Structure 1
Amino acid sequence: MPGSLEPLDLGVQIPYHFRCPISLELMRDPVTVSTGQTYDRPSIESWVATGNTTCPVTRAPLSDFTLIPNHTLRRLIQDWCVANRSFGVERIPTPKQPADPTHIRHLLTQSASNSNPYPTRLSALRRLRGLARDLDKNRSTISSQNSREILVQLVFADTGSESSELTHEALALLVLFPLPESDCAAVASNPDRVAYLAQLVQHSSMEVRVNSAALIENVLAGSRTAELRAEISNVDEIHQGVVSILRNPIAYPRALKIGIKALFALCLVKQTRNKAVSAGAPETLINTLADFEKCDSERALATIELLCRVPDGCTAFAAHALTVPLLVKTILKISDRATEYAAGALLSLCSASEKSQNDAVAAGVLTQLLLLVQSDCTDRAKRKAQLLLKLLRDSWPEDSVGNSDDFVCSELVVPF
């Protein structure tokens, strides 16, 4: 509990009526239910979400599930926090209140109606987007109001012309929600919509391009059949647009996270991986690998391994001077998954090129692999390391060959 656990260790006693009866922690957003009892909003919402229909304290049935903000109690809690600031207690911020579902329905109706003035529709979408960003509760309410169908229609309302600001706002709001399979199929199976996405992902606005890439990833992830995914991944312009997004990590940090998710989703379609290679994905991935956060680094390395399984991809990665040294350096540095993907990519590269074998040995891969097979890494990573050790046997320094046999045959390594 932020701001309250530490003060307890310092001897500050939180008043009993400031604690949530469910979590027993300092309430940050106190709300009152129909029985008159007050709880912290996240706690009572979780209680109700798990199917409970009674008041946790009184056990009386809840006549309705309306949560009324207890502003008086919140102010008292805030005053208490300020009074105990010297003990390290931080003042809780005034929470934003969830939007009224009726208000959200009104905004959706405004944005969807062609009879409304253009500025009114645009303003409604912007307000909905703001609400969705403010609170997860608002996002859930918007999602429950048939919003995705409305937003898909708005984004693809006029695929034969230049995209408008209304389209861009609808797109920015749409990508905040996962798409059901039916909506994904409605996009992927429509050539005009796919072509429009290819146009949007190469838009002059970076925000539009990133949101388009997010929608592409959503559609690919939500499409059940390989045929539908291929309808998206078979378009050269989509690969080019997604790869170009990854080249702007400093100017637009969100581009890295969205871009690598979209590129990975595209590369999962085996028959169109050459299109990612042709779009410059190998060079871009190596140039930006150091800029990714942990989860995104894993996804980037998985994408590299996938592209290394394509002959042209393997050639393109091998031609980059930093590919092998970076992959060797990655082993045992980021995570078990990252190590597994890096070892897999190195195995493909070294299987295809003697130069890559020499580069790997020069970068210190032998030591890394010997450490890997003795580590707690995944069995798949160890199997790849074993194969790579055997492949590189002729490239090992003479004084290491004898000792290395012990590691390759060690009982610590899962047989393959």
Structure 2
Amino acid sequence: MVLGWRRSKISHHAGKKHPDVELVVPNHFRCPISLELMKDPVTLSSGITYDRESIETWLEAGNFTCPATNQILRNFDQIPNHTLRKMIQDWCVEKQNFGVERIPTPRIPVSPFEISEILFSVAASARRLDQYRCLELVQKIEKWGGESDRNRRCIVANGAAAGLAAAFDAFANASVERNATVLEEILCALNWMFPLDVETQRSFGTQASLRCMVWFLRCKDLSPKQNSIVALKELVSCDQNIVEKLSDMERVIEILVEFIRKQICPIITKASLTIIFHLISFPCSSEKIKLTFVRTGLVSLLLEILVDSDKSICEKALGAFDGLCGCKEGREEAQSNALTVPVLVKKILRVSDLATEYSISALWKLCKYGGRDEGRVLVEALQVGAFQKLLLVLQVGCGDEAKEKATVLMKLLNPYRAGLECIDSVDFKNLKRSF
């Protein structure tokens, strides 16, 4: 097989023009797996040399043999072939006039032993509360992670998240203000190690760690604020005990609602909506929590977001809105807002299956438990085309719960249909808003 570069443009060398040529790569410079020029040649115990990325992919897939010879490998050591790599680099330099770029000298990838060693030092510095030494070590881990995806996978696979989470808890327990620098650095490193395993969740989800992250949410700097909200989103998404702990913390609700109101950046907005959804939807979530969210003006904020938002934000906002409609005060606030019914009907079958389910559920709650405003909500829903949308949902198919609620809604809407024209959802710009 011939492998080479075909020059697309005429190059100049010593005043001479070179026509289009095909440059053949020497066979021993090519990886036996990818057949591409090797960038980081390594030799296995079988004596065959491969490009590091190709052979690592082969081994990570669960293979125990040498691809070329099919013999079982005595070990998985990958010895850098410096001689061959230097020959490839020299060849690239020699052929640079033909459009070949020199292969850069690869960095030596981090080893499991090095990771274990540095995590041992992190644990020791955390026990001594030596934030400066710990900061040094965490920055070294981040540097390794920044060098390659392979390094990141190796760091995560060897328990770095659990070690850093334990250190975070230790420094947070001692003093958040005094250890803020190292805590911020650990939080930054942990953010690319998600999702977390159960052991890490336990260390990272302690009262001290959660208080520290909430403290960072009140910082002026964007980076610690963003890292903290993303970490909290990860934790509440996988552990209901953490949801309960977080809901009891002072000013958490006000901070989250303020993030929604200001929309500092999409990452913070999405993470805040996810956390709010879990706080509201938590099985043991009290009416007090929902009422607090309602009184902060969250219902109106969510409707404003829903008018024009991307799929991800829309789903999360609808989930939170549906949760708020689960309490009387939330329904009353929603019914008093002119955007509520048009927005909910508009989102049915327009965003995603999940968004459709949340929209139908919220409408169902407003119509079924709407009290004295139930008739008005039903009439308004008909006027913006709810009956047509629900009928279409049943025709195209949906989940059992959504189907049941859509059927109930259609029965509730049916008596009001006489004399009312079912039209498409109205333009939101012409609606008078309640805020």
Count how many residue pairs are aligned between Structure 1 and Structure 2.
383
1:358 alignment counterpart: 379
How many Å apart are 1:14 and its aligned residue?
Answer: 10
Distance 1:398 1:95 in 2: 76
2:189 alignment counterpart: 173
- Which amino acid in the other structure matches residue 403 of structure 2? K
1:206 equivalenced with 2:222 (yes/no)? yes
- Which amino acid in the other structure matches residue 381 of structure 2? A
Q: Quick check: 207-216 or 340-349, which moved more?
A: 207-216
How many Å apart are 1:170 and its aligned residue?
Answer: 0.8
1:394 equivalenced with 2:415 (yes/no)? yes
1:317 equivalenced with 2:334 (yes/no)? yes
124, 135, 148: which one aligns with 2:161: 148
Q: 1:334 to 1:168 in 2, by over 3 A?
A: same
Distance 1:14 1:294 in 2: 49
52, 55, 58: which one aligns with 1:44: 55
Report if the CA contact (8 A) 1:110-1:116 is conserved: no
Report if the CA contact (8 A) 2:40-2:52 is conserved: yes
- Which amino acid in the other structure matches residue 220 of structure 1? V
Distance 2:268 2:231 in 1: 13
Name stretches of at least 5 consecutive residues in structure 1 with no aligned partner: 5-11, 86-90, 402-416
Report if the CA contact (8 A) 1:30-1:74 is conserved: no
1:308 alignment counterpart: 325
Distance 2:300 2:416 in 1: 27
How many Å apart are 1:37 and its aligned residue?
Answer: 4.2
Report if the CA contact (8 A) 2:383-2:421 is conserved: no
Distance 1:356 1:82 in 2: 75
2:64 alignment counterpart: 53
How many Å apart are 1:388 and its aligned residue?
Answer: 1.6
How many Å apart are 1:169 and its aligned residue?
Answer: 1.0
Name stretches of at least 5 consecutive residues in structure 2 with no aligned partner: 5-21, 423-435
> Which residues in structure 2 correspond to 1:257-276 (within 5 Å)?
257-270=270-283, 271-272=285-286, 273-274=289-290, 275-276=292-293
Report if the CA contact (8 A) 2:217-2:224 is conserved: yes
- Which amino acid in the other structure matches residue 203 of structure 1? C
> Which residues in structure 2 correspond to 1:185-204 (within 5 Å)?
185-186=202-203, 188=205, 190-204=206-220
How many Å apart are 1:15 and its aligned residue?
Answer: 7.6
Distance 1:299 1:330 in 2: 13
Q: TM-score, normalised by structure 1?
A: 0.74
Q: 1:129 to 1:259 in 2, by over 3 A?
A: farther
Distance 2:271 2:119 in 1: 26
Report if the CA contact (8 A) 1:347-1:384 is conserved: yes
1:128 alignment counterpart: 141
- Which amino acid in the other structure matches residue 390 of structure 1? K
Distance 1:374 1:82 in 2: 65
Report if the CA contact (8 A) 2:347-2:356 is conserved: yes
Distance 1:298 1:73 in 2: 55
Deviations 1:238-295 (A, max 9, x none): 233233333344x423213322332233233132451444454433332333565434
Q: 1:399 to 1:214 in 2, by over 3 A?
A: closer
Deviations 1:220-255 (A, max 9, x none): 2343xx555422233352233233333344x42321
240, 265, 269: which one aligns with 1:252: 265
Report if the CA contact (8 A) 2:118-2:137 is conserved: yes
1:65 alignment counterpart: 76
